[in-house]
Amino acid sequence: MEFFKISYTAFTFEGHSVSYIELVGTVFGFVSVHFASRGNVLTWPTGIVNEILLLILFFQVQLYADMFLQVYFLVITVYGWYHWQTNMRNEVVFRITNFKRMMLVGIIVFASFAMGYSMLHIHQYLPDYFPLPAAYPFVDSVVMVCSVAATYLLARKNIENWIIWIIVDVISIVLFYRKGIYFLSLEYVFFLLLASYGLYNWNRIHTS
């Protein structure tokens, strides 16, 4: 379908074309993060739409690590949706221990390097599926690994998810701008603001 092609333009933004798939995916992503910052369970169904559309988009711009990330997001979204509805009241949030924080940092560093190396050579490993080299494989992998960690913490209602999302948002703003996905880059500016609000709001809930 034409809708799913990045060449199918919805409008022009600052002299650059914005595709329908980028536009709709961006809108649903913004709505999903808004619900997350407020601790609302609707973050999960709106997130599913965002994830499917971005998976298709990232494949077309050779951000393969981000593409694989959307598959993980779909799985953890189902888990988070179920977990929030069945196990926790909306107003309850938690912190992780200092030991788990140190473990998390170590895992993120190791996994980012391993994934970056894989993405660097993926066009050689699987040329039939990925004919073009990955763009910014290590930076893209940091975004992927940090997003995996943050989404899991979000599903568990751990406050620290917002700290990681802030890091992801800052990197993504620059990465997507460099790749010419300007509307999505702009969205991550708003994501950064929402993540900052989410960190503030969840800290307020935790201490109230």
Q: What's the chain's average pLDDT?
A: 88
- Residue 90 above 60 pLDDT? no
Residue pLDDT, tens place only, 19-40 = 889 889 989 988 998 898 888 8
Q: Is the pTM of this model over 0.85?
A: no
Lowest mean pLDDT among 21-25, 55-59, 64-68, 94-98: 64-68
Q: Which long-range contacts (CB under 8 A, 24 or more apart) does 71-75 make?
A: 72/148, 72/151, 73/47, 73/147, 73/151, 74/48
When divided into structural domains, the chain yields a total of 1
The domain containing residue 48 runs over which residues? 2-207
- Give percent above pLDDT 70 in the chain: 96
pLDDT digits (tens, 9 = 90+) for 120-166: 998 899 898 888 898 899 998 999 899 989 999 998 889 999 999 99
DSSP secondary structure string for all residues of 4-45: GSTTSEEEEETTEEEEHHHHHHHHHHHHHHHHHHTT-TTHHH
